[in-house]
Structure 1
Amino acid sequence: MNYITTYCHIALNNCYVNGKLTHSFNSNSIDDFTKEFYKSLILEYPKFHKMDRLAKTAFLGTEVLKKECPEILNYKDDEIAILFSNNNSSALTDVNFQTSYQNGGVPSPSLFVYTLPNILIGEIAIRNKWYGENMFTVAEHFDAEYFVNYCNVLLHKNAAAALCGWLTIDDNKIEAFLFFVTKKDFNELNLPLESKQLIELYTKN
């Protein structure tokens, strides 16, 4: 049996961890929110400020989960798999990149880097030195069964844990649901990795 060890929801100005509100802000935009959130975590990682919104949100969610379940840091660098999905790929960054060179402008290399959504996985892997199997998929909606089946395969093979997330962002909205799956129920939340359980967690804070 595999377990959902810890999970979080991130929306504009709020972050809930294991169902409890842990961070709340009064920001007027997504960019202001991610800056405030980053500062509140007292991190020293300058590369964060160069990331796009998708990568920043995934990064922040991962940092929150690590603090909630520090046992994750004890895994070897190739034992943690990363699995993310969303319904719009990197559409927001794609549009911003296109805008950057329209009307004779100069294309922005910093934006071009993030025109593939799986770059956020690379950012998380580099930050944490997690070099296990990884995958980013695009789906019409959150698919609990997909996450359950894929995680079970990963943890049956070489992975000891998996960081998973559903993450969509547009100009005015963040929807992020991240969770760690492990073979041992470190936080004793008693949340087995099952589709029904995952849907229940996804649909509440």
Structure 2
Amino acid sequence: MILYDSIGPNPRVVTMFVAEKGLTIEKRMLDIVKGENRSGSYLDVRRAGTTPALVLDDGSTLCETIAICEYLDEVHPEPALIGTTPKERAETRMWVRRIDLTVTEPMTTGFRAAEGRPMFEPRMRVIRADAADDLKALAKDGLTAIEAEMGDQWIVGDRFTLADIALFAFIEFGAMVGQPMPGDLPKLAAWRERVAARPSATAG
């Protein structure tokens, strides 16, 4: 397998997931600032130019962050990062979906409309700049809702899962692009420290 990687929260989710699994996968880094993901041979791998992408041994390609993680979890089931029973897997997927809708989407769309606009506007459709503040506020609302419903140890109760990895990658991204986690979320603050202490948090 070959993993096409780059900076950014989505590739970081896969990198952390791979590290938690203890897997070794060949990587090819793309410089997305220079636009390497939107030109040359990478467009034969992923026409939309997004990262990450996982090329399997049979030559087929899997794209989209969560789909890649789901595949790796199925072919390498230990340690279980989604779940070992139908209920556990459903709970993890429920949380991943919540994170995607309430934090990831407004955070990244708000970033592209504001701080990231010079990079993204020539490459894709971005929304009006005056909507950025509302989107960033929505992402904060999402974090507040997660604080109220998450488990005491991890997002999904006492299990470290893909939901923890996904949220951590985007909270760290937000902190770098002017969307820090609100200071009045003590459970999430303690949770973030626990995730940051895991070896996978510094995997590259």
Q: TM-score, normalised by structure 1?
A: 0.36
Which protein is richer in strand relative to its size? 1
Higher helix share: 2
Structure with the larger RCO, 1 or 2 (CA within 8 Å, 6+ apart):
1
